[in-house]
Amino acid sequence: MNKTQKLGALAAAVMLSACGGGGGGSGGGMPMLALAPVAAPATQAPAAPARDCSVTLYGDSILNGSTFKSGRIAEPPAMGIQRMRPAYRVVDRSVPGDNAQMRMPVMVNDTIDTHIVVLEQGINDAGNALPYEAPLRAMVQRGKALGKLVVVTGISQAAVAVANRDAYDAIARRVAAEEGVAFADWGAVPVVVADMADDVHPAQPQSTHLTEQLVKAFDQVAPECAK
């Protein structure tokens, strides 16, 4: 073996030793390094959606809590909502004597900064045979276009017969269904004559029952605000 061959053999022996070859015992070769397991990246829980518990009320004297005889009741619906659901900010734009035909051109141009919009007209519309479906639908569609949750109320019962009440109540229910918005069934709240301020307007107990029915609709469309 010449000198060049000897140097090549020596280099090969060194490389074999470095790789753990050549030594049959447990001490042969370089020790293997143990790698620590790589921890999976921590997953962050998604943030809970921000609550927007706010409502604008459009309606007549019944939503306003006004009566013929005694002015406004002690806890009108706007205040009742805040007592029953403290999370809510309530903007009360109800007006005694309101009707859908009169309110529609105002409402569709209003700035509304709440998440929910209530439309409670109908009893004055019915009693005076005023156009109801078209202006009600226009207001519902305006609320939807603004990205609001719309609640249409039915027409409350009275202590006396109100012309067209049942037919207009059916219109309110149908418009709500066709437009895919919530319906608060005020017509399902029975009249207790002793709880009425006059033939049409609720005194405090009857008004509270109507407000409870309205709050049920809020809980359906915004359950996160029910606590």
Quick one: which of 125, 149, 121 has its CA closest to 64? 121
Q: How many whole angstroms separate alpha carbon 114 and alpha carbon 225?
A: 13
Query: Are 148 and 180 in contact, with CB atoms under 8 Å apart?
Result: no
Q: Where exactly are the structural domains of the chain?
A: 54-225
Q: In what order do the strands lie in the sheet with 182-184?
A: 89-92, 54-59, 116-120, 149-153, 182-184
Q: In 3-state terms, what secondary structure has residue 24?
A: coil
Report, as an integer, the average pLDDT of 20-42.
50
Say whether pTM exceeds 0.85.
no
Q: How many whole angstroms separate alpha carbon 148 and alpha carbon 181?
A: 10
Q: How many whole angstroms separate alpha carbon 164 and alpha carbon 153?
A: 16
Q: What is the pLDDT of residue 48?
A: 57
Q: What is the pLDDT of residue 2?
A: 47
Flag whether pLDDT at 11 surpasses 60: no
Q: How many whole angstroms separate alpha carbon 210 and alpha carbon 190?
A: 10
Flag whether pLDDT at 13 surpasses 70: no
* Long-range contact pairs involving 173-177 (C-beta distance under 8 Å, separation at least 24): 175/133, 175/136, 175/137, 175/140, 176/140, 176/152
Quick one: which of 222, 42, 77, 213 has its CA closest to 149? 222
Quick one: which of 60, 109, 114 has its CA closest to 91? 114
Q: Does domain 54-225 have CATH number 3.40.50.1970?
A: no
